[in-house]
Amino acid sequence: MAVRAVRGATQLEVDEREHMLERVAELVTEVMTVNGLTVDDFISVIFTSTDDLLSEFPAYAARQLGFSEVPLMCARELEISGSMPRVVRLMAHVENELPRADVTHVYLHGAANLRRDLSRVKSVPDA
């Protein structure tokens, strides 16, 4: 079994707890779906958020999805002038047989603009 890293990000419209939980759950679920993963495939997940997000820990959304035995960590994103606001990023380490080139990194909502250079970006338009 190979170890792979999966990246992703989502942008929130507002810093509200329920919105944070909804967007992060959507991100984690989409990463799992497009890569054929289950919770047991995850080794660890690192979440970062921009300084303007204070309503909830992003990892709490993953805990609600059943990630109770997966090590999760939250951290602050670097404050770079002109960077996109209200963004949660993740980097998950997973056990999977997918070739590295077939891992799908997921960027949702406004965060899809962060990695247009990736050919396998999944973009979900805002409703």
Report domain extents, the chain: 2-115
Grade residue 119 by pLDDT with cuts at 50, 70 and 90. Answer: very low
pLDDT mean across residues, the chain: 91
- pLDDT of amino acid 36: 95
CATH architecture of 2-115: 2-Layer Sandwich (3.30)
Q: Give the pLDDT confidence of 53-98 residue by residue, as tens digits.
A: 999 999 999 999 999 999 999 999 998 998 999 999 999 999 999 9
3-state SS assignment for residue 107 = strand
| Main-chain phi, psi angles of 35, to 5 degrees | -105, 5
**Count of CA atoms in the C-beta half-sphere (13 A) of 25:** 13
Grade residue 118 by pLDDT with cuts at 50, 70 and 90. Answer: low
pLDDT at 107 over 90: yes
Does pTM top 0.75 for this prediction? Answer: yes
Q: Tell me the C-alpha distance between 57 and 59, whole Å.
A: 5
Q: Tell me the C-alpha distance between 12 and 17, whole Å.
A: 11
